[in-house]
Structure 1
Amino acid sequence: MINILLADDDIDDCLFFQDALEDLLIQNNLVTVSDGVQLMSYLEDHITNPPDVLFLDLNMPCKSGHECLLEIKCNDSLKEIPIVIFSTSQNADVVSTLYENGAHYYIRKPGDFNILKKVIGEALFLLEHNNMKQPDFLDFIILS
């Protein structure tokens, strides 16, 4: 059983993500939060039992995914949580900064459900096989 935390303010994206996990037949416990403040509050409340992986949208209200990434990676109790950035943008400078700030993988949100399943499954597979460690930059982006 893998404990997955999804931080995304788009309700439809959260539902597609949940459906994709169900189709992948991955035993999971999915928790969703809809903004950066809720995310940080959830993590602080679960500091002794953090999620196995966090899928993090960059463009959220109250506190952005960028801000949350920095806060998480600066917190000794949270910094080991693998973070997969899950966003609609793919600006090369932003992607480089996210890698430098400690994100594990970057996925550009696909519009197609089958591709969504593929990239979520690939991210979870890669995290497990890399022992939850950050890969080389050349392997940072999971292509859809």
Structure 2
Amino acid sequence: MNTKPNKTIYLADDDADDCMLFEDALREVSNSTELTTANDGVELINLMEKSVPPPPDVIFLDLNMPRKNGFECLEVIRSTSKWKDIPVVIFSTTGQEEMVNKVHEQGANFFIRKPGSFPKLKQAIKQILDIDWSMHSWKPSPENFFYQY
């Protein structure tokens, strides 16, 4: 029996309730996905220094976190050679155009505004999990970058 998870996901978010909701939604979408959470950007970078390689299949990254925010994490990830190709999905409550544009320019793969309902959260996670990243190493155009459910 193969016990290796289909996908490995890192989630960096300082909101414990959001992390629990994300995990619950993920379990309903895919029970063969391994989730590792970090409570802030410093914890995420420390985790990555210890455990990558192998890289996660995707990183969900909140922008507003203490110690090291999502912008700073994204900058470190994209400037570190062994991490620079890991897909990063910004997962934030903000939808301000200025912030969306900034992380697009910094090299994030997608920006998802945190959905207001559990079914929409499941839909957002499923959409990201369904992406074959080996076929999508490209950077999406700005109009295909921001998802709001």
The match for 1:73 among 78, 86, 103 is: 78
Within the candidate set 14, 22, 43, 1:17 is matched to: 22
Equivalence for 1:46 = 51
| Structure 1 residues 47-99: Cα deviation after superposition (integer angstroms, max 9, x where no partner) | 22121100000001110010000011011111011000000001101101101
2:128 is the counterpart of 1:120: no
Matched, 1:37 2:42: yes
Structure 2 counterpart of 1:3: 8
State yes or no: 1:136 paired with 2:138: no
- In the TM superposition, structure 1's runs of 4+ consecutive aligned residues that sit over 6 Å from their partners are none
Query: Is there any run of 5+ residues in structure 2 with no aligned partner, and where?
Result: 1-5
Q: Which moved more, 1:29-38 or 1:120-129?
A: 120-129
- The two structures have a TM-score, normalised by structure 1, of 0.94
3-state DSSP of counterpart to 1:126: coil
* Identity value in percent: 42
Which residue number in structure 2 is paired with residue 56 of structure 1? Answer: 61
For each residue in 1:79-131, what CA deviation from the matched residue of structure 2 results, as whole angstroms up to 9, or x when unmatched? 01100000000110110110110000001111200010011111222354743
Residue identity matched to 2:91? F
Cα distance, 1:26 vs. partner?
4.7
Instruction: Supply the distance in 2 between the matched residues of 1:129 and 1:117 (Cα, whole angstroms).
Output: 23
Structure 1 distance, partners of 2:82, 2:17, is 31
Normalized against structure 2, the TM-score is what? 0.91
Supply the AA of the counterpart residue of 1:20: A
8 Å CA contact 2:40, 2:66 repeated in 1: yes
Residue 134 of structure 1 deviates from its aligned partner by 2.5
In 2, Cα distance between equivalents of 1:47 and 1:82 = 13
Q: Give yes or no for the alignment of 1:106 onto 2:136.
A: no
Give the Cα separation in 2 of the matches to 1:127 and 1:32. 22
Distance 2:31 2:132 in 1: 14
What's 1:95 paired with?
Answer: 100
